[in-house]
């Protein structure tokens, strides 16, 4: 524990309500602790924090500083996550805390993801209040999103368990950079997980994400073994991860390891954060990526950040009829029956279509 004076000062700030002992760590002999929540395995000295900035060693004990420390909360269309094959047309109560365990040069939510918790406004929102808000806003699920749920895993797990007791599903919008025990606990509490597969190159992960690709691939394989619904998003950044060879290798890996029914979303890059010297992804690049992935045997390939494009829609792989028409974040014309089959030809359509 911190000294008596430090503890009094800490309590006086009101920060204590956000602090819990972390679940995923080990104590080392010299007062340091080793975080086990993600593959970084940060070794943290007394008074210091891990790379994510939200886990701190206090008195030889690793504490999360963001339990119930919500910095963003909104009722969003599930399509915004994006999850296209999971309860389309429903709302997801979306919540986040500060912090992330990777540092993408193109981060879209850097104001909260790359900040320490004390640097941004937040509200104490315990699990039961999240559930109440989700039900009050007519949401079918709770989404842990905007930042990386791995760094607030303890909170996300407790919220998901409370949500399940109230009949709500839970989804994680994650980078997949999570360690074994934490992965089993966090993803195990979810009904669906969207993974950002940021590239199919260790070099890209090292230089643009400050992480590694292999643990993300391991997470995808683990999710398949756990029987969770999974969708994948890959943001195509011009000249950095949009080469034909890399895209073909990614699609082939997905088909071989996860199967052809995993939805893959190729998303359009817009200059952001520290990566402002590249252009917006050309539509032709996205369409080429889609063609490559389909040629490798993936049945549900979508394009994102291209409003109005037909590749936002879901078509039956067998009869090619339009099953779900999307406009922005709305989903209409859901021609999928209660058994998850095409209403026209009866072919099975992979997904979780009804609550």
- Over residues 246-252, the mean pLDDT reads 98
Q: Token pair of 63, please?
A: 């504490």
pLDDT at site 55:
98
Q: Is 14 exposed, middle or buried (0-12, 13-18, 19+ CB in 10 A)?
A: exposed
Nearest residue to 269 via CA among 304, 234, 235: 235
Query: Given CA atoms 322, 328, 332, 336 in this order, what sign does their dihedral have?
Result: positive
Q: Which residues contact 270 (CB under 8 A, 6 or more apart)?
A: 280, 305
Asked whether 22 and 154 are in contact (CB, 8 A), the reply is yes
Q: Which CATH number fits domain 69-332: 3.40.920.10, 3.40.50.2000, 3.20.20.70, 3.90.1170.50?
A: 3.20.20.70
**What tens digit of pLDDT does each residue of 322-343 get?**
999 998 888 876 799 989 999 9
* Helix then strand then coil, % of the chain, to nearest 5: 30, 25, 45
CA distance 177 to 181: 12
String of DSSP letters for 258-278: H-TTS-EEEEE---BTTB-SS
Residue holding tokens 């309590």?
Answer: 11
Average pLDDT over residues 33-38: 98
Taking CA atoms, 172 is separated from 131, 177, 252, in Å, by 16, 13, 25
d(CA 93, CA 137): 8
- Provide mean pLDDT across the span 228-243: 98
- Report cis status (omega within 30 of 0) of the bond before 145: no
Q: If you average pLDDT over residues 31-56, what whole number do you get?
A: 97
- Quote the longest CA-to-CA distance of the chain: 71
**Position 3 pLDDT exceeds 80:** no
Residue 23 has a pLDDT of: 97
* pLDDT surpassing 80 at residue 118: yes
Residue 15 has pLDDT above 90, yes or no: no
Over the stretch 135-184, which tens digit does the pLDDT of each residue have? 999 999 999 999 999 999 999 999 999 999 999 999 999 999 999 999 99
State the average pLDDT over residues 44-71. Answer: 97
Structure tokens given for 96: 């986040």
Pick from 18-22, 87-91, 326-330: least confident: 326-330
Q: Tell me what the mean pLDDT of segment 200-215 comes to.
A: 98
Give the pLDDT of residue 7: 42
Residue 8: pLDDT band (50, 70, 90) is very low
Site of tokens 């190729």: 266
DSSP 8-class letter at 76: E
pLDDT band at 13 (very low <50, low <70, confident <90, very high): low
> What pLDDT score was predicted for residue 6?
46
Beta bridge partners of 174: 195
* pLDDT mean across residues, the chain: 94
**To the nearest whole percent, how much of the chain has pLDDT over 70?**
96
pLDDT at position 5 is 38
Domain coordinates in residue numbering, the chain:
4-64, 69-332
Q: What is the pLDDT of residue 355?
A: 75
């Amino acid at each position: 524990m911190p000294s008596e004076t430090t503890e009094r000062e800490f309590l006086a700030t009101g920060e204590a309500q956000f602090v819990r002992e972390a679940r995923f760590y080990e104590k080392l002999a010299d007062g340091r602790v080793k975080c086990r929540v993600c593959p970084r395995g940060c070794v943290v000295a007394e008074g210091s924090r891990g790379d994510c900035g939200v886990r701190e060693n206090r008195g030889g004990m690793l504490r999360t500083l963001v339990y119930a420390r919500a910095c963003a909360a909104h009722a969003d269309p599930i399509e915004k996550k994006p999850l296209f094959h999971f309860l389309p047309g429903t709302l997801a109560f979306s919540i986040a805390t500060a912090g992330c365990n990777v540092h993408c040069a193109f981060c879209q939510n850097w104001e909260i993801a790359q900040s320490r918790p004390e640097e941004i406004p937040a509200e104490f929102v315990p699990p039961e209040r999240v559930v109440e808000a989700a039900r009050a806003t007519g949401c079918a699920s709770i989404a842990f999103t905007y930042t990386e749920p791995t760094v607030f895993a303890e909170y996300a797990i407790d919220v998901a368990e409370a949500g399940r007791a109230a009949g709500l599903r839970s989804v994680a919008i994650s980078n997949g950079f999570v360690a074994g025990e934490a992965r089993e606990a966090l993803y195990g509490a979810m009904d669906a997980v969207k993974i950002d597969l940021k590239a199919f190159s260790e070099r890209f992960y090292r230089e643009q994400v400050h992480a590694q690709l292999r643990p993300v691939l391991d997470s995808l394989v683990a999710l398949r073994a756990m029987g969770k619904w999974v969708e994948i998003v890959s943001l195509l950044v011009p000249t950095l991860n949009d080469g034909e060879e890399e895209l073909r290798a990614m699609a082939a890996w997905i088909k071989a390891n996860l199967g052809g029914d995993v939805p893959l979303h190729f998303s359009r890059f817009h200059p952001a954060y520290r990566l402002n010297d590249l252009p917006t992804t050309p539509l032709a690049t996205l369409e080429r990526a889609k063609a490559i992935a389909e040629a490798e045997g993936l049945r549900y390939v979508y394009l994102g950040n291209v409003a109005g494009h037909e590749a936002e829609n879901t078509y039956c792989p067998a009869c090619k009829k339009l099953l779900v028409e999307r406009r922005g974040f709305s989903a209409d014309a859901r021609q999928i029956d209660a058994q998850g089959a095409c209403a026209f030809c009866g072919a099975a359509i992979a997904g979780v279509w009804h609550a």
